[in-house]
Amino acid sequence: MNQGRRDRRSGDAPARGLQFGVANYVAFALGLTSIAAGYVLLDRGSVTAAPLLLILGYVVFLPAGLILGWRRLS
């Protein structure tokens, strides 16, 4: 058995789960704000800022909220 891994049956293994920190919540908040602002600008007829904000929200900020701090779990 690998020395770095603990046996699940031993009962002393730490519980693993989603451990979000402040940076994760900030990235999620930025993503949601960016998406909301993008849709508001899209409704007002913006053809430049709205798609940019939507792409930033969906492609950059929301995934960053999931990815930030993933090395802490290992």
Would you say the pTM of this structure is higher than 0.85? Answer: no
**40-60 pLDDT per residue, tens:** 999 999 999 999 999 999 999
CA 9 – CA 62 distance, rounded (Å): 36
pLDDT at 2 over 90: no
DSSP string, 29-50: HHHHHHHHHHHHHHHTT-SSHH
Cβ of 61: how many Cβ atoms within 10 Å? 20
Domain residue extents for the chain? 19-73
The proportion of the chain whose per-residue pLDDT surpasses 70, expressed as a percent, equals 69
